[in-house]
Chain A
Amino acid sequence: MAIHERDPGMVEGGGQRRGSSPPDGRSGVRASDPTRLASWLSLERKQRLAGWAFLTPAILYVLFAFALPIIYNIVLSFEQTSPATIADITAPFAGLANYRFILHDPTSIAAIVHTFEFTGGSLVGQFIIGFSLALLFSLRFPGRTFARSLVIVPWLLPLIVTGVIFKFLFQLQGGAVDQLLVNIGLVHHPIDWLDNPHLALWTILIANIWLGVPFFTLLLFSALQDVPLDVKEAALMDGAGAWQRLRLVIVPIILPVIEVTVLLGFVFTVKVFDLVIGLTGGGPANSTQLITTWSYNLSFQQFSFGEGAALNNLLLLLAVICAPIYLMLNRGSLGRSSGVER
C-alpha cells in the first residue's frame, strides 16, 4: 500500500501536489549588477531554507496525523476487517461490501438521518439565539461587558463533562429541568427526556444548542462591531424601523461572517461525539445514534473497523463538501505573506 505524498486538503480546484514543488525561482531579485547577484541569491536561498526548516515539523505532523489517517481510513473501508486483522497492516480486500452494509443496516441509516436532523435543528437554534444575543450585546446597557465575557463559559468545559451535566439535569428522578417545568406549571408530570426514544433526540439537540450558542454569539457580535456607525445612522435618518435596519442594512453587511459561522457551525455539529456519548450513549434504542457514535460503536465495540471506516468516509464527505466554500471565504489570507524580503 503506497502512501501518496498528497495533501488531504487539496480538494478544491486542480488537486495540486506538495512535496515535489521545485524551488521558487521567481523571487524579487532586482539587482542589475551581476557581481552582486550571486550574494543576493545565496541570501535568498538561505532565507528560503530557513523558511522550510521552520515549516518542516508542521508538514510532517500534518502528513502523519491528518493525511495518513484519512488515506488509511479510505483503504480500511474497502477491507474485510476482523478482530484478528487489527494487528496486521492490511486485511483482505472486500470490495464495496462495507458500503453495502451501511446502506442496508437500519441503524446506520437511522444514524445518518439523525445526524441531519440534529445538525439542522442545532444550526437553526444556535443561529436564532446566538444572533439575538449578539444584537443584545451590541446595545449599550449596564453589565454588557460582564455578560459577554461570561457567555463563553459553555465553550471551555470538556465536552464529556457537558454531556454528563445535562444527563444529570434531564434525568427523570430528581432532574432540575423537570422539577423547574413542574414547579412553574408548564407541565403536570415530569417528562422522560432521556429514556423516551421520541424525545431523546430533542434532549441532545437542546444540550448542543446550549453548547453552540456562545460560538455564534461571539462571531456575530464581533461582526456587528465592525458595522460602521454612520451606516446605521444613515438608515435611521432615512426613517427605517429596527427590523428594516436589521434586514436591509446590517445583515447584508455582515453576511460574509454569517456564512462562515453557519458553515463552521455545520462542520462542528456534524462531528459532535462526546456530548452524545455522555448524555445518552446513542440510546435509548439507538434513537440518538449519530454517524459519529455509530461509527465508534461499529469500530470499537463490534470490531468491524471496515464498516466503521465506510461510515466515517460518509462523514468525511459531508465535512469536505464544505471545504471549498470555507477556503473561498478565507481566500484573502491563504497565500498572504508579509515577509522581510518584500
Chain B
Amino acid sequence: MTRLQRSRTLRWLCTFASLVALAIVLFPVYAVVVASFESTYTLFSGTYHFWPASPTLANYRTVLSAQAANVVTSLIVGLGTAALALVVAVPAAYALSKYRLRVTVVVVSSLLIAQIVPSIVLATSLFIIFHWVHLVNTYPGLILADGTYAIPFAILVLRAFFFSLPNEVMHAAKVDGASEWQTFTRIVVPLARSAVITVAVFAFLNGWGDFIFALTVLNGATIQPITLGIYTYLGNYSTDWGAVMASAVIAIVPAAVMLILAQRYIASGLTAGSVVG
C-alpha cells in the first residue's frame, strides 16, 4: 500500500470507529423512542424488537392524560429556575469580573466548592429548613433548591465571559453619563446575550430534569414534575413500560430541542463551568 492509500484507509477506519462509538452512545435514546411506540403486548412478549413490531400511539394517549399536569409543573419549575439563576447570577458575575472587591476570592472559591457539594446533603437539610419556613410542597421551595445546580455554574460561566468584554465599552457608557446600573442593564447585558442564553438554557434543563429535590422537598402529590411522574410508574412490580417510555420521551424533548437550537453554545458551556482557569 502506498502512503496515501494507507492514510485514506486510516481515515475511514476512524470514521467507522466513531460510528460504533456513536451507536453505543445513541442506542439508549433510540431504544426509548422505539419502545414508546411499541404495544404493551410486544413489550411483555419477552423479545426485544429493534424496530416497533406493531407501532401504536396508545402509550402517548395514556401518558398525555396522566402526565399533562406534570409537564406543566416541570415547565414552571424549569422556567423558574432559569429566572432565578439569571437574576442572581448575571449581576454577581459582572461584579466578580469587573469590580475589584475584596470578597471576590472568597466568593469565587465558595462557588467552585458549591459545585462539589452533593445534592443529597443539601436535600436532607433543606427539607427540614423548608418545614420551618413553610416552603415544603411549594414552587418557590423547589425552585430555590434547584438553583443549587444552576447558580454556581451560571456565575462561573458568565464571569469567564465578562472577562472577554472590553472595559472601554463600559468606560464609554460612563463617560456619556450612564450610571452603574444603566451601564449594566443597557450595555453589558445586551452584549452578553449569548452567554446569558446559554446559562438560562442550562438552568432550565436543571430545573426540568431535577429529580432529587422533587423527591425530597415535595412531599405529596399536589406538585409533581415529570421526573417524579416517571419514577412513580416504577413503584409497582409490573412496570407499564409503554407508559414509562412515552413519558421518558416527553422528558427528553426539551433536551433535544436545546441540542438543536443551542448546539454551538452547549459544548463550550458545559466545559466552561468546570475549568475556569
Do A55 and B103 touch across chains, with their CB atoms under 8 A apart?
yes
Q: Does B139 contact A (CB under 8 A)?
A: no
- Chain A residues with CB under 8 A of B118: 270-271, 273, 292, 312, 315-316, 319
- Chain B residues with CB under 8 A of A154: 25, 28
Do B103 and A336 touch across chains, with their CB atoms under 8 A apart?
no
Q: Does B1 contact A (CB under 8 A)?
A: no
Do A69 and B14 touch across chains, with their CB atoms under 8 A apart?
no
Do B277 and A332 touch across chains, with their CB atoms under 8 A apart?
yes
Q: Does B181 contact A (CB under 8 A)?
A: yes
Q: Using a CB-CB cutoff of 8 Å, which residues 163-179 of chain A contact chain B? A: 164-169, 173-176, 179
Q: Does B32 contact A (CB under 8 A)?
A: yes
Do A73 and B124 touch across chains, with their CB atoms under 8 A apart?
yes
Do A27 and B117 touch across chains, with their CB atoms under 8 A apart?
no
Do A157 and B129 touch across chains, with their CB atoms under 8 A apart?
no
Mask of B251-268 contacts with A, CB within 8 angstroms, 1/0: 110011011000100110
In the complex, number of A-B residue pairs with CB atoms less than 8 Å apart: 361
Q: Does A113 contact B (CB under 8 A)?
A: no
Do A323 and B124 touch across chains, with their CB atoms under 8 A apart?
no
Q: What is the interface size of chain A, counting residues whose CB is below 8 A from a CB of the partner?
A: 124
Which of A11, A151, A159, A326 meets B22, CB within 8 Å?
Answer: A151
> A58 and B25 in contact (CB under 8 A), knowing A168-B31, A338-B167?
no
Q: Which residue of B lies closest to A49 (CB)?
A: B180
Q: Does A9 contact B (CB under 8 A)?
A: yes
> A316 and B26 in contact (CB under 8 A), knowing A65-B144, A219-B274?
no
- Other 13 A-B pairs with CB < 8 A, given A47-B99, A69-B125, A278-B231: A50-B99, A51-B99, A62-B111, A142-B11, A147-B18, A155-B270, A167-B234, A218-B270, A296-B120, A331-B277, A336-B97, A338-B167, A340-B170
Residue numbers of A with Cβ under 8 A of B are 7-12, 16, 18, 21, 24, 27, 46-48, 50-55, 57-59, 61-62, 64-66, 68-70, 72-73, 76, 86-87, 89, 133, 136-137, 139-144, 147-162, 164-169, 173-176, 179, 210, 213-215, 218-219, 222, 257, 260-261, 264, 267, 270-271, 273-274, 277-278, 281, 292, 295-296, 299-300, 305, 308-309, 312-313, 315-316, 319-320, 322-323, 326-327, 329-342
